[in-house]
Amino acid sequence: MKLVEQAFNDLFPEKDLENYNLKIKYTDKFKPYNANVRYTKNSLQFNLSKKWRKISKEIQVGLIQGLMLRIFKEKKATTNIDLYNSFMKNLHISIPKINNDPVLGESFNRVNEKYFFGLVERPNLTWHDSIRRLGSYEYGTDTISMSKVLGADTNLLDYVMYHEMLHKKHKFHCKNGRTHHHTKEFREMERKFDDSQEMEERIKSLVRHKARKRFVWF
Ligand SMILES: [Zn+2]
């Protein structure tokens, strides 16, 4: 049985596989370990970054089952999804650290010393141009990326760095196939940053001045 069919059968023993056309495509167009699914009527095409090809079938099944749950809007837990989650959570260990911007490195060190007892392992650190996305942490490449608009305000840079480091340190929480990044506990930890309220205000005014578009940060 094909990997994608096995994923489907194990997840939905009550659904008939015959009714669906399932496909996997490994592609170069994604960043490492990204994936998505295209769904039209009864056909599901899973697009996976080429990196996935070398990863064990059990873990790929978990990735695909997670995507299936999103498409079918269902909640379920499987051993394969657990395997996939722990794979993603431990991926950072094997990822080479090649991007190390000095300004971001200093911000990372300041925040690490002050709030994490210096215990967070350094990820890749890069800048990006987007204003909509102030900061992000990507598990697949172990990279914290910060918007260049933050470069002029060291405190704010550190605040967003802190947010992304919380993601790196605490990872995500998965329940019944749903992944939660900004839990109540996460928001509580976020508020431990000095003057976090003022930082939130500064973010609002920065975004008002720089862009009218709605912004998001991950
Ligand atoms: Zn976030």
**What is the tens place of the pLDDT at every residue in 198-216?**
999 999 888 877 654 444 4
Q: What is the pLDDT of residue 84?
A: 96
Ligand 1 centre from 167 Cα, in Å? 7
Q: From ligand 1's centre to the CA of 163, what distance in Å?
A: 6
Q: How many residues does the chain have?
A: 218
Q: Whole-structure pTM over 0.85, yes or no?
A: no
Among 63-67, 98-102, 137-141, 165-169, the least confident range: 98-102
Q: In this predicted structure, what is the pLDDT of residue 34?
A: 93
Q: How far is the CA of 77 from the centre of ligand 1 (A)?
A: 24
Whether the pLDDT of residue 27 is over 50: the answer is yes
Tell me how far the alpha carbon of residue 182 lies from the centroid of ligand 1, in angstroms.
6
Q: What is the pLDDT of residues 62-110, one digit of tens each?
A: 999 999 999 999 999 999 999 999 999 999 988 989 888 999 999 999 9
Give 75 Cα–ligand 1 centroid separation in angstroms. Answer: 23
Kindly indicate the confidence band of residue 116, based on its pLDDT and cuts at 50, 70 and 90: very high
CA distance readout (Å), 196 to 133, 181, 184, 187: 19, 19, 16, 11
Q: Residue 191 C-alpha to ligand 1 middle, in angstroms?
A: 13
3-state class (DSSP) for residue 210:
helix
Cα–Cα distance for residue pair 216/196, rounded to 1 Å: 18
What integer best gives the mean pLDDT of the chain? 92
- The rounded Å distance from CA 7 to ligand 1 centre is 29
Residue 89 neighbours by CB under 8 Å, 6+ apart: 139, 171, 172
**Centre of ligand 1 from the C-alpha of residue 214, in Å:** 16
Q: What is the pLDDT of residue 174?
A: 85
d(CA 143, CA 145): 6
> Residue 179's pLDDT is what?
84
User: How many angstroms separate the Cα of 183 from the Cα of each of 166, 170, 188?
Assistant: 11, 11, 9
Q: How far apart are CA 54 and CA 34, in angstroms?
A: 14
Count of CB atoms situated within 10 Å of the CB of 76: 16
Calculate how far, in angstroms, residue 134's C-alpha sits from the geometric centre of ligand 1.
Answer: 10
State the distance from the centre of ligand 1 to the C-alpha of 2, rounded, in angstroms: 36
Q: How far is the CA of 114 from the centre of ligand 1 (A)?
A: 20
The pLDDT assigned to 147 comes to 95
Dist. CA 70 → ligand 1 center (Å):
20
pLDDT > 90 in the chain, percent: 79
Higher pLDDT residue, 180 or 162? 162
Measured in angstroms, how far is the CA atom of residue 162 from the centroid of ligand 1?
10
Of 34-43, 139-148, 185-194, 204-213, the one with minimum mean pLDDT is: 204-213
| Ligand 1 midpoint to CA 199 (Å) | 15
